[in-house]
Amino acid sequence: LEPFAAFGWEERGGYGDAYQTAQAFAASARAGGIRIRQSTPVAGLIVDGDDVTGVRLVDGSTISAETVVVATGAWTRPFLAAHGIDVPIEVHREQIVMIHPGMELGKVPVFSDLVSLQYVRPDVRGEILFGNSDLAELEIADPDNYLNRADEAFLDLTVDKVGTRFPQFTDAAITSSYAGCYDVTPDWNPIISTGPLEGLVIAAGFSGHGFKISPAVGRLVADLVVDGHSNDPRIPESDFRLSRFAEGDLLKTRFPYVGAGEMR
DSSP per residue, 163-225: HHH-TT-TT-EEEEEEEEEEEE-TTS--EEEE-SSBTEEEEE--TT--GGGHHHHHHHHHHHH
pLDDT in tens, the chain (264 residues): 666 667 788 888 888 999 999 999 999 999 999 999 999 999 999 999 999 999 999 999 999 999 999 999 999 999 999 999 999 999 999 999 999 999 998 888 888 888 888 999 999 889 999 999 888 788 999 999 999 999 999 999 999 999 988 999 999 999 999 999 999 999 999 999 999 999 999 999 999 999 999 999 999 999 999 999 999 999 999 999 999 999 999 998 877 766 555 555
Residue 7 falls inside a structural domain = no
> Rounded to an integer, what is the distance from CA 92 to the centroid of its chain?
11
Of 130, 152, 182, the position where a domain reaches its end is 182
Q: Are residues 111 and 82 in the same domain?
A: no
Residue type present at position 238 = S
Sheet holding 128-132, edge to edge: 111-113, 118-122, 128-132, 90-100, 173-184
Structural domain including 241 reads: 37-89+186-260
Record the pTM: 0.91
Q: Are residues 177 and 232 in the same domain?
A: no
Bond from prior residue into 122 cis (ω within 30 degrees of 0): no
Residue 14 falls inside a structural domain = no
Q: Which residues of 106-136 are buried (b: 16+ CB within 10 A; e: fewer)?
A: eeeeeebebebbbebebeeeebbbbbbbebe
Q: Are residues 155 and 223 in the same domain?
A: no
Domain holding 173: CATH number? 3.30.9.10
Q: Are residues 163 and 204 in the same domain?
A: no
Residue 158, phi then psi, degrees to nearest 5: -60, -50
Residue 260, phi then psi, degrees to nearest 5: -100, 25
Q: Are residues 205 and 132 in the same domain?
A: no
Question: How far apart are the C-alpha atoms of 238 and 203, rounded to whole Å?
Answer: 14
Question: How far apart are the C-alpha atoms of 148 and 43, rounded to whole Å?
Answer: 25
DSSP class of residue 149 equals S
pLDDT tens digits, one per residue of 223-264:
999 999 999 999 999 999 999 999 999 998 877 766 555 555
Q: Are residues 65 and 191 in the same domain?
A: yes
Q: Are residues 197 and 162 in the same domain?
A: no
Of 162, 182, 202, the position where a domain reaches its end is 182
What is the torsional sign of CA 195, 200, 204, 210? positive
Q: Are residues 45 and 78 in the same domain?
A: yes
Q: Are residues 174 and 68 in the same domain?
A: no
Question: How far apart are the C-alpha atoms of 108 and 56, rounded to whole Å?
Answer: 48
Question: How far apart are the C-alpha atoms of 203 and 189, rounded to whole Å?
Answer: 11
Question: Which among 81, 82, 69 has a CA at the least distance from the CA of 192?
Answer: 69
Q: Are residues 159 and 123 in the same domain?
A: yes
Q: Are residues 97 and 78 in the same domain?
A: no
Residue 19 falls inside a structural domain = no
CA atoms within a 13 Å half-sphere pointing along the CA-CB vector of 95: 23
Q: Are residues 105 and 161 in the same domain?
A: yes
When divided into structural domains, the chain yields a total of 2
In this predicted structure, what is the pLDDT of residue 30? 98
